[in-house]
Structures are given as C-alpha cells and as structure tokens.
Amino acid sequence: MIIEDQFAGLDALDLAKLVTSRQATALEITDAVIARIEALNPVLNFMTTCDFDRARDRARNASADTEFSGVPFLMKDMIDVGGLPRTDGSKLMLQNVPQQNVAYVDAIEDAELNIPGLTNVPEFAAGITTDNAVFGATKNPLNPEYSVFSSSGGSAAAVASGVVSMAHGTDGGGSNRLPASATGIFGMKPSRGRMRSGEVGGEHDIAKTNHVLSRSVRESALLFSLTEDTTGPMQPVGYVAGPCADRIRIGYILPNGHVDEDVATALNKTRDLLSSMGHVLVEVKFPVNIDAFTSAYTAFFSTRLTLLRQMVEASAGKPIGDSGLVTPFVASGAEALRDLSQGQIERAMLYLQSLQEVFGQLFQNVDILLTPVSLVVCPKLDKGAWNRTWNENLATEMVTHLQYTAPINFAGCPTMSVPCAIGSNTGMPVGSHLIAPVGEEKRLFNLAYELEAELKPMANLENMLKRRRATDQKS
C-alpha cells in the first residue's frame, strides 16, 4: 500500500508548483490521484462517492497560475458540494443531492482545488470509529486492525496513505484531531465562526468547524488563509508561512484515569521537546469535569438526535427504530434520549456555553494548552459498531474518548493534533493536542511548523507505511 507514482510524497503546494512551472498538468496529477483511489479504496474503503469525470473536466480547465492550480482535494461526505450526493453515511440520505455549494465549498473551488470525490464518515458522525451500514468501515492504512477513529476518518485514511496530501474535515467534537492522531498527520479545528460557513443558511454551528487534515503544515496554513471568513468579527489570520522566534508559555496537563502507555509517553516527550526548544512549560489542571461534561454533551447530542427522529418519523410514518432508514445505533440513541426534559437540555447548554469563559480564564496564564488528543491511541477496527444498541455505558465510553477534544469545540478555541510520536507498544502514531485562545490560530501554526521541523512526521509516516507493506508481503 505504498504510492510510488511520479507525484508521490509531494504536498499540495509542491504539486501546484509543478503545474505553475509547466512541469506537469493538473490533469496528469488528477489521473494519478484517481489511479491511487482505484488502487487503495478497495483495501482501505475511504470513499463514498467518486466523481472522476467531472474532476478530469475541471483539471483540463484549471488555471495553472492559482494557489492550488487544480490539485485534487477530497471533501468529507458531510457538507453540501453542488451536484454530489451528500449522505452523511446514512441510508436515509442516499437520495440527497444538493444542487449548490455552501460558502466553504465555494472557497475551496475558488482556491482552484479540484474535488474528485467524497470521503467516508460514521452515520451522522455518531460513533467512535468511521463505519456505517451503507459504505462499511474505513481501515487504518498503518495497520488494518485499527480504525481511523471518527469522524473525518475517510479523509484521514486518504491523506495518511498518500492518495491526496490534504483532505477536508468537519470537527464538532474532535473529528479532525482524533483521526489525524490515529494516522500520523496534522488535523486542525479553527476557532468557532472563523471559516466560511459550511451550513446551507450561512450560519455557524456552535461546535462544528470546517478545515483540513494534511501531511504538511504549510498546505493547511495556506488553505486556511483562502477559506477563512475575512468579513467576520475576528481579525483575519492570513497565510502563516513558518514558525515564530517568540518563546511562549505552554500549560500541560497530567491526564486522569486510565491512559494508554503510548499516549502518556508521547505527552511527556512532547512536553520535554517543547521545553528543550526554549518554551516555558507549566503544569495546569484541565478545567473540565468529565462527569459534568458527559452529561451535558449527551444532552446536546440528544437535541440533534431529536431533530433527526422527528424528521424520520414524519417521513416514514413509523417509529425511528422501525423505519429501517437509520442504523440501530442511531435509532436506539434517538429513542433513549427522547425523554430528556427541556430543563435538562437548557442546563446542559448553559454549561457548554460556559466553557468559553472557563478556557478564557485558563488562557490568562498560558499561551497554549497541551493535552493528549485522547486517552487511547486509537480504537481497534470495529465492523458493525453501527449495529449496536445505544446504552449509557457506551455513551460514557464514547465521551471519555472525546474528553480532551470535545470541550474545546464548545469553548470555540482553535486546536490542532500534531503527529508527535510513534507508540512503542502499538507501533501506531500518537498526536499531541495543542489548543490556543479564540482567534489565535497563528500561534498554533507557528508551533506546528516548529514541531514539524524537528519531528519530521512525514518521514515517520512513510517509514510506517513501508514497514506495513513489508509486513503485508510477509503474510
């Protein structure tokens, strides 16, 4: 499972330069990516929709002198791309074909990125692994026994395997950071309201933000500058092109409860590395109580499931569990959470909204917060997770995986998983979770460049892929 064509290993900026300098055409690069998808998707299962004919047409007409010059870019199957079916990984949505792009997708196309298809997701992003009843489970390219976490898992598999260097993700609770950590790539979630809207009405979700998973920091930073909303209340960041000489104050946490040894080791090593590089590291307490957050997050989740249940029952004329339109996991979750009172939901929303202030106070004392992405390296592949029945223990376990990522969505802060280590027990990559105050994406990019320069995560990724191929060949 190694990409070995002439464009292998080049990031989106390098590919665009090849087109701009007339050393390659956008069509040649698009054809190579299509060949990669055809070779690897049967093994890894990261695509939901392929749109190769339109991609080739667009590549023929791409402008060579633009930022991305027609370089292929995959979108997550959870956003409206005009003319392509948006399924959210659900049977319910199979006939849903939006006719128009949302603003964020317009910005992607204005940057002259070319979309040859959409990537796999768990049904409505519910669940810990990227698996659904329609398209099946996405495998981790570094070890097929592992999942790619959730929910931008199809994009993570495509990027980590080298099919594309950068792909879209939505992050409403850790969906860009968890898969990025599990596959050894960069995954970023910008501040709430920072990017062009990914919603049909042009509004911004309280938790969900659009950006990318990528192999290099610079391609993420460049696309960020081209897709951020420059008319919003925040000062635009622009293109952050490299690290910054400023040494900063970084708070780190010591995780509570059971932590995978590989995760604990990775966190310690990242702390030592940042300290060695002249930053001031101070221990801080993660300002979120997991029990309170689990309760509030479950209530928040129930509001989404209630809307879904009402829609399904109105169209099917029967209870959601009998409709056959959504998986047992989603249906049982919608049923189980239907009895939450309005008071419970209002208290939960107040709690979640308070997190912005809670993290704002923390950032009075530190410039950046360092935590694990998750307490586990990565869940094993769990085919049929969608067929489980929702129960309280399962919900608690799921939120435990998200306990360092999801609160940040409600705080509205920008955050990033940077590939920082390879676990000696699992042999899998482990990301470090870096969080900045609202609006301070530049600080994150600066630090990501600094870590990238010293850690050489793409060298690690290529080595892991080579070792995987050697293992596969032996077996």
Stretch that binds another protein, among 71-79, 90-98, 315-323, 450-458 (CB under 8 A): 450-458
Report yes or no: 404 and 464 within 8 Å, Cβ to Cβ: no
Q: Does 463 participate in binding another protein (rule CB under 8 A)?
A: yes
Asked whether position 338 contacts another protein by CB under 8 A, the answer is no
Closest CA to 440 of 372, 374, 371, 369: 369
Quote the DSSP letter at residue 146: B
- Asked if 442 touches another protein (CB under 8 A), the answer is no
Segments in 3-112 forming alpha helices (H): 12-20, 26-44, 52-61, 103-110
Q: How far is the CB of 288 from another protein (least distance, A)?
A: 28
Site string for another protein, 85-124 (x = CB under 8 A): ----------------------------------------
Q: Which of 261, 260, 36, 43 has the alpha carbon at shortest distance from 144?
A: 43
Q: Binding to another protein by residue 161, rule CB under 8 A?
A: no
Q: Which of 38, 96, 466, 471 binds another protein (CB under 8 A)?
A: 466
Q: Which stretch binds another protein (CB under 8 A): 112-120, 171-179, 294-302, 414-422?
A: 414-422
Of these, 216, 295, 327, 417, which contacts another protein (CB under 8 A)?
A: 216
Nearest to 429 by CA among 470, 473, 463, 472: 463
Here the tokens at position 269 are 């090593």
Task: Please classify residue 212 by burial: count the beta carbons closer than 10 Å to its beta carbon, then call 0-12 exposed, 13-18 middle and 19+ buried.
Answer: buried
- 243 lines the binding site for another protein (CB under 8 A): yes
Q: Which two tokens stand for residue 336?
A: 């189980």
Which one, 144 or 423, has the nearer CB to another protein?
Answer: 423
Q: Does 388 bind another protein (CB under 8 A)?
A: no
Q: Are strands 280-283 and 249-252 parallel, antiparallel or unpaired?
A: parallel
Q: Does 157 bind another protein (CB under 8 A)?
A: no
Nearest approach, Cβ of 15 to another protein (angstroms)?
Answer: 9
Q: Which of 37, 103, 267, 451 binds another protein (CB under 8 A)?
A: 451
- DSSP annotation of 196: P
Give helix 12-20 / helix 26-44 axis angle, nearest 10°.
Answer: 150
Considering Cα of 66, then 17, then 197, then 123, what sign does the dihedral take?
A: positive
Residues in the chain: 475
Backbone φ, ψ for residue 101 (5° rounding) = -70, 145
Determine whether 66 is exposed, middle or buried from the number of CB atoms within 10 Å of its CB (0-12, 13-18, 19+).
middle
466: number of CA atoms within 13 Å, CB side?
Answer: 8
Based on the shown chain and the rule CB under 8 A, indicate whether residue 457 belongs to the binding site for another protein: yes
String of contacts with another protein for each residue 301-320, x by CB under 8 A:
--------------------
Q: How far is the CB of 431 from another protein (least distance, A)?
A: 11
Residue 469 is a binding residue for another protein (CB under 8 A): no
Q: Does 278 bind another protein (CB under 8 A)?
A: yes
Would you say 196 and 104 are in contact if contact means Cβ atoms under 8 Å apart?
A: yes
Q: How many chain residues are in contact with another protein, going by CB under 8 A?
A: 45
- Residue 473 lies near another protein (rule: CB under 8 A): no
Least distance to another protein, CB of residue 24, Å: 8
Site residues for another protein, 10-39, by CB under 8 A, read 10-11, 14, 17-18, 21, 23
Query: Which of 269, 304, 388, 442 touches another protein by CB under 8 A?
Result: 269
Nearer to another protein, 285 or 456 (CB): 456
SS3 265: helix
Q: Is 453 in the site for another protein (CB under 8 A)?
A: yes
Q: Using CB under 8 A, which of 354, 424, 425, 471 touches another protein? A: 424
Tokens of 30: 């698009």
Compute the distance between CA of residue 154 and CA of residue 83 in angstroms, rounded to an integer.
20
**How many whole angstroms separate alpha carbon 469 and alpha carbon 141?**
10
Least Å distance, CB 278 to another protein, is 3
Least spacing, CB of residue 88 vs another protein, in Å? 32
Please give the single-letter amino acid code of residue 420: C
Q: Is 242 in the site for another protein (CB under 8 A)?
A: yes
Nearer to another protein, 67 or 450 (CB): 450
Closest distance between another protein and the C-beta of residue 269, in Å?
6
DSSP letter string, 319-354: -HHHHSSS-HHHHHHHHHTTT--HHHHHHHHHHHHH
Binding positions for another protein, rule: CB under 8 A? 6, 9-11, 14, 17-18, 21, 23, 165, 215-216, 242-245, 247, 265, 269, 272-273, 275-278, 420-422, 424, 449-451, 453-463, 466-467
